[in-house]
Amino acid sequence: MYHSFNLSCRSRQLACLALLSFSCLVQSQIERVEPPNWWVGFEQDTLQLLVKGKEIGTHVPFIKKEGIRLIRASKGDSPNYLFLDLVIARDAQAGTFDIEFKPKKGRAYSFSYELGQRRRKPQDFGGFDSSDAIYLITPDRFANGDPKNDVVKGMRETKVDRNEDYGRHGGDIKGIIDHLDYIGDMGFTAIWSCPLLTNDMPRSSYHGYAITDFYQVDPRFGTMEEYIELSNKAADMGIKLIMDQVANHCGSKHWWMEDLPFGDWLNFQEDYEQGLPLKTSNHKRTVNQDAYAADYDRALMSGGWFVSAMPDLNQRNPFMAKYIIQNSIWWIETLKLGGIRQDTYPYPDKNFMAQWAKDIMREYPNFNIVGEEWSDNPLLVGYWQDGAKNRDGYRSYLPTTMDFPIQTTFAAAFKESEKEWGKGLVKLYTALANDFHYANPSSIMLFGDNHDMDRIHTQMDEEVALTQMTMAFVLTAPRIPQVYYGTEILMQNSAKPGDHGLIRTDFPGGWTADTVNAFSGEGLTEDQKGMQDFMKKLLNFRKTSSAIHSGNTKHFAPYDGVYALFRYDADQIAMLILNKNSGPITLYLARFAEMDIAGKTFTNVVTGTSQTLGAVMQLNGKGATVLVHQKR
């Protein structure tokens, strides 16, 4: 030992070269370890590591660390994978530890793995709820905060062209960070961004849903540090960050596609490996509930690929299942998330999805997850919400679903004639009446539009009054409201209905060359300014409204083209009036006597004017009126 401190200069050089050589050996042997790090102190005390490296499956792993036990090492069908099951003791200490690998020939080498200390208590991960208003952003189209990352050498899609609907435009995480003040000032309390993880696909990579690395931020969007910065700065402003995740599929250029761990890592994997035609989903989502559904249809629904460029993940493989669950928890912990939006919720194996949601909610009891079930049938949507009394006994553990049933009524409710029986506003009234079916209606997410459908202003034939009526309902109904970026300035895609590229239009002002700037208001039309102000007033009102957050709801059947909805509690009465009449109309208030509004002073949330209600109210034309009375 003594002589080791007296090495000659030459000896030290040789020692350094040997250490460098050994380090390179480890790096060449170990390509990936996922999750890349973990934490102590979870309810679930097991951790499964995916280790990827040349012939790693032939190695024998060892761990000698107090509080950490390696209980199982499982080989993949590919010799280049090893799955390590660890038990982390309750009293295990945070820090790094070595995982030693002993090959059949040659000396053993080790890989250093980090267990962190959790910086936030599990109950402090507060999820979004009905007190929030969510701003949905397609990041590539919102704002370009760092033009230097527009093109990243080595990635498959390197072109940026803002004139190409399906190309990359350059928006990024820095662009969202730079405009957090705008988002907060508008009155939003949560941000849902379309996926920001790596999509190294040859085309249309901008949307983010064909993920090619579940642990890496797409460098064209920014860095992990910037993603964390976004979360931290948003939290400082009282804005939650919701992550869009995809458990059903990955991108066809995902790193594991050239060397899959198991023969059943994907659904219909054999067809893919043999170059046979790919089986895509039949999209018959009712098979999840249908007692009469054929096994063939069930298998094709959940097993078929979403599209040919998105391989379908097999969650029935226990290693895949563990991988997805741990990935979700890793991102919650890394970003201190305020929620997850799970894409294409009914497509994966539904028993896996229940376990996925259960494991997350066990670790974070105050968290929230919303699942996408794109159906206008409330029976299907309600099936997925935790607490549903399903005849098949299925429990999803999913707190929140998306209200496509009400969303699909908006166009008819506001555009159809009120003169025909069963048409117009009564469709919206009836849709809300379906709340008796839901386990928790106020924990359902309602929206006028999103990134996958025509913008609401296009749906309303670009009639401002109808767009305002829609959004007034979204922001006052007993729901969690979600607003797609640009709705506040009447963005539309009327030139090409149904075109996803145009639906995801650039937000004006997000690029330095823009002549119109919606962030500052410069260049906006009077209608756009009016809509922006309308939304800002309503959003900031609901931000502090106890009646909107958690009050009771009562609505009155539409009559003479007018639909009234009340939200109320011990402190406040909020009254929404939706009027489809183009000209002046007298609204007789006796019909609302049970709400005890006569003689009480109400303030118009948008105009700020006040009036004491008597027997009648004059409505001056088509539009939405939101009034509030403060009881105490």
Contact 458, 502 (CB under 8 A): no
- Please give the pLDDT value at position 93: 96
Reduce the DSSP state of residue 178 to 3 states and report it. helix
Q: What is the pLDDT of residue 29?
A: 84
Rg (CA), the chain: 27
Q: Could you give the residue numbers annotated as active site?
A: 343, 372
Q: Report d(CA 424, CA 337) in Å as an integer.
A: 40
- As a whole number of angstroms, the distance between CA 180 and CA 188 comes to 10
Tokens (6 digits) for 623:
């539009």
The two tokens of residue 377 are 């049938």
What per-residue confidence (pLDDT) applies to 9? 42
Report pLDDT for 215.
Answer: 98
Sheet order of strands, 68-75 included: 32-34, 46-52, 81-88, 68-75
**What share of the chain has pLDDT > 70, as a percent?**
96
Instruction: Tell me which residue has tokens 């009469």.
Output: 292
The contacts of residue 206 (CB under 8 Å, 6+ apart) are 138, 140, 141, 166, 167, 168, 169, 199, 504
Say which residues have a Cβ less than 8 Å from residue 253's Cβ, sequence separation at least 6: 156, 200, 201, 202, 210, 212
Burial class (CB in 10 A: 0-12, 13-18, 19+), 154: exposed
Question: Six-digit token pair at 448?
Answer: 């006028």
Q: Using CA atoms, how far apart are residues 578 and 476, in angstroms rounded to an integer?
A: 12
434 vs 451: CA distance, rounded Å: 26
CB 317 within 8 A of CB 264: yes
Residue 28 has what pLDDT?
52
Residue 281 is classified by DSSP as: P
Q: How far is it, in rounded angstroms, from Cα 250 to Cα 269?
A: 13
Sign of CA dihedral 176, 177, 183, 187: positive
Q: In what order do the strands lie in the sheet with 134-137?
A: 400-401, 369-371, 339-342, 240-245, 190-193, 134-137, 480-484, 445-447
Question: pLDDT averaged over the chain?
Answer: 95
Work out the burial of residue 299: count CB atoms within 10 Å of its CB; fewer than 13 is exposed, 13-18 middle, 19 or more buried: middle
Regions of the chain with pLDDT less than 50:
1-25, 27
φ, ψ for residue 448, nearest 5 deg? -85, -35
